Amino acid sequence: MTARSHNRLIGRIARHAILAMTAAFALVPFVWMISLSLKPPEEIFRADFHLWPTAFHGVENYRAALTAAPMFRFLLNGAMVCAAIFALQLLVCIPCAYALAKLRFRGRDTLFAAVLVGLLVPPQALAIPHFVLLYVFGLLNTYASLILPWIISAFGIFLMRQFFRSIPDDVIHAARLDRLSEFEIIWRIMMPMSAPALAAFGIFSVVAHWNDLFWPLIAIRSEELSTPALGILLFRDDEAGQFFGPLMAGAVVIVAPLLLAFLFAQRRFIDGLTITTMK
Amino acid sequence: MTIVVQHAAPASHVSLPRPRSSGEGQTAWLAVSPALLLLIVLLFGPAIAVIVFSLTDWQLGSATFHFIGAANFKALFADLAFWTALINTLIYVGVVVPGTVLLGLVTALLIEASPRLRGFYRAVHFLPVMSTMSAMAIVWGTMLHPTIGLVNRLLGTIGISGVNWLRDEHTALLALAAIGIWQSFGFAMVLFVSGLKAIPQQLYDAATVDGADGIFDRFRTVTWPMLGPVTMFIVILSASRAFEVFDSVRVLTQGGPNYASEVLLHRLYTESFDFLRTGYGAALTVIYLSIVVLLTLTQAKFLERRVHYT
């Protein structure tokens, strides 16, 4: 064995050793959560620790989590709210992005400047006026209160405009020669052509709103309207949530959908979330 | 980090004569009007409203209000809780940003060093980024439990008796910072990887010719200088994210014990929506907004410079 290949081997071992440690740091909470979700209470409090339960208590824990709190309702609420937000965002953003990218009209540059300024405003800073607005219209503690504040996305307009600009004008000219109206061009030609940008924006939007706790905590008071991030907190304050086993089972149910979706489409998720840093 | 566009640009830029329908402007206005209306109602209107609220004594539900100038800000600056929250937030950012950047850089370099298990490592390190923080904060809470928590169990095996991390004034904020690093370092890793991919291979070849072919030589002469702009960008990005810390604080400590883990956004939430002190909350929001806008502008500046380089 030459000194060089010897060094190689040591380098490779070191690489995997360090990555195993950082991977363990990333994974430990998930492993711990699953482990506890399968154990009876007395085993959780025992002095010695085993990863796999000696007495399997998973069925009871998951049943407690799913029956004491409407877990599936939380997931359904999360899915509905995220879907509604994203659909409305597209409806509002896409025509605007198309006009900014491809049409000439008075005030275009001013509007685009406004969109860029809009990118600067963190959503939490608008919580008080949004709350007041919804209060005035009697919409607090409704699905509408979870959806309405988010249907305008300066970021969505910005991202889609950048993408539309990259589509050659000839495509649009050809469509106009075929007597398509501008709105037909938007929905029938530009939309299908911008699938990658739409996917990126969709992932960004869904991940942000699925995981959001700040706004639902402000807008929602009743359990049946809660999103996953808020629901797990309500469950913790319930009686069943006082036990670690059911509480961890609840946490598994809440985090699983997004993590599974990510594992199925890793590249798309990572690209979608990194594109959003271009702001 | 930029969108790769799948269309080839037209070879020649002969712009065809556009059929200048008189309706183009009208169509455009029709297309932008919903977005414009909503920008005003949901974004710019509220942003101005926050500033107006911060100058009044108005409270949610009350019929009258008076302009009281800077009184809310005076009250804010005289409030020890605010300063504690500001300092804690800065400490939190000061711990989370270096931790995130360092861990992100090390993992990115090691993952890119060879193709073995690359996909697996990337997915594993990215899982925390994708997980719902409020649920994972509850999980961390059980891991940091003084007697049955994993952290103290592990410390116990090497003879160290751990404290009650989240209930101890000296450790609560640091425990939250560790959770913050756990959640964000995978994201930094992904950004570093895209920065590494952009470094041209020729530079490494040239470095080898010049005799810099050890791992550390290559890093010192090529990788690190080339990663400069990306690193700066990641620092600012993770700083703006760390400034927004809220979920873990709300779930685990509510800012306690004795304000030891109180942070800006949690103060903002508590004052505005628990105590309904709208004017005071708005003043706090204005301060928060200024900090975040400054950070974002700095970030945009760096992004612009990077675009010029590439």
Confidence of residue B65 (pLDDT cuts 50, 70, 90): confident
| Of residues B247, B241, B250, B292, the one with CA closest to residue B274 | B250
pLDDT in tens, B154-169: 898 888 888 899 999 9
What is residue B211's predicted lDDT score, i.e. its pLDDT? Answer: 77
Check CB contact under 8 Å for A258 and B114: no
Token pair, residue B180, equals: 């913050």
Give the number of A-B residue pairs with CB atoms closer than 8 Å: 300
- Nearest CA to A267 out of B114, B119, B154 is that of B119
Residues of A in contact with B106 (CB under 8 A): 18, 22
| Those residues with Cβ within 8 angstroms of residue A141's Cβ, 6 or more apart along the chain or in another chain | A219, A220, A221, A222, A225
Smallest Cα–Cα separation from B278: which of B78, B74, B52?
B52
Residue B74: closest CA among B60, B89, B55: B55
Tell me which of A239 and A82 has the higher pLDDT. A82
pLDDT score for B17: 47
pTM of the model: 0.89
Question: Using 50, 70 and 90 to split pLDDT, how confident is the model at B22?
Answer: low
Task: Find chain A residues with C-beta within 8 A of B297's C-beta.
Answer: 120
pLDDT tens, B241-294? Answer: 999 999 999 999 999 899 999 999 999 999 999 998 999 999 999 999 999 898
User: Which of A131, A170, A196 comes nearest B3 by C-beta?
Assistant: A196
The percent helix, strand, coil of chain A (3-state, each to 5) is 80, 0, 20
Residues of A in contact with B251 (CB under 8 A): 213, 233
- Closest chain A CA to residue B287: A125
Percent of chain A with pLDDT over 90: 69
